[in-house]
Structure 1
Amino acid sequence: RLLSAIPDNVLIARIAADEFALVLPGKMCTESLISLFDDLTDELKKLFIVGGQDVMLSMSTGLARYPHDADNVEQILNCATQAMY
């Protein structure tokens, strides 16, 4: 579901068991970013059925921009994590 909700030009990476990072190419305006995160949230709110059981998911998001917030990968991930919390 996550893959179906993001544009083809967006890279998605699994960072930890329940953490993912999206790498968006170029510059996106704030409204486009908010729209993308809203679409992701809406997609993940949909009910999953796993082994006959209803499963609901939630999502927390944090946003960091290169080079505005950080100038390397470690710092940008740290900034996004801080923004999420």
Structure 2
Amino acid sequence: MGIDITEMKDVQHRLSAFARVDSLTGLPNRAQLYERLGEALARSRRGASATACLFLDIDHFKSINDSLGHASGDEALREFGRRLQSSVRETDLVGRLAGDEFVIVLEGGEQPACAQAVAQKIIEAMRAPFFIAGAPLHASTSIGIAVSSGEDDDADGILRRADEALYAAKRAGRGGFATGCPH
């Protein structure tokens, strides 16, 4: 006697994938982001190379939701995610942390110069209007950059520093980026 468990295994595999992907944007979610960022930092320590973390959000996103409704806000988040993905290399990680907060992980390259070039590319990509419900919407992003600093880096630490840099970019006038201190 035997039981074919192929269908059950397929369902388990799909459920596992759903637990790691943001259902709105299709990007890696918080769980996958933390896992892959931790792996990138480990590779960085082993290879004596830097990993950069960019923390981004949509400037004045609440006003988009409030004035156009949540369906339009959702479409703005999807378009924002698409533009982020088109601004980075295929090997870079773009994930949605929560709400309108996104994170990009860049491995290799001369950091922070590479991260700053990517940040500038993203700012330019956001200049073109989003078309939400057939109407143009102008949105900008603020970006905080943190670069791994050695043995004591972990996902929480580098994300915290990138988030602090994001708020520095917002204080400087939004629509730009700031680079955080190593510690």
Tell me if both proteins adopt one fold, taking TM over 0.5 as the criterion.
Answer: yes
Q: Whose relative contact order is higher, 1 or 2, with alpha carbons under 8 Å and at least 6 apart? A: 2
What secondary structure does 2:163 align onto? helix
Specify the alignment match of 2:70 in structure 1.
Answer: none
Amino acid at match of 1:3: Q
Q: Give the structure with higher Rg (CA).
A: 2
Compute the displacement of 1:44 (Å). 1.1
Query: Percent of counterpart pairs with the same letter?
Result: 29
| TM-score normalised according to structure 2 size | 0.43
Alignment of 1:1-80 (within 5 A): 1-67=83-149, 71-80=153-162
Give the superposition deviation at 1:82: 0.4
Shift of 1:28: 2.5
The number of residues matched between the two structures is 84
**TM superposition shift of 1:81:** 0.5
Deviations 1:18-76 (A, max 9, x none): 111111112423332221111111001111111121111110111111135x6111111
Q: Which amino acid aligns with 2:89?
A: P
Helix, strand or coil for the counterpart of 2:113?
helix
Q: Structure 2 CA distance, aligned partners of 1:46 and 1:83?
A: 25
CA distance in structure 1 between the aligned counterparts of 2:145 and 2:104, rounded to whole angstroms: 10
CA distance in 2, matches of 1:54, 1:27: 36
Q: Which amino acid aligns with 2:91?
A: N
Find the aligned partners of 2:112 and 2:156 in 1 and give their Cα distance: 23
Counterparts of 1:5 and 1:67 in 2: how far apart (Å)?
A: 25
Taking the aligned partners of 1:76 and 1:38, their CA distance within structure 2 comes to 20
Q: Distance in 1 between matches of 2:129 and 2:161?
A: 31
Alignment partners' CA distance in 1, 2:117 and 2:146 = 16
What RMSD in Å do the two structures reach over aligned CA positions?
1.5
CA contact (8 A) 2:130 2:136 kept: yes
Give the gaps of 5 or more residues in structure 1: none
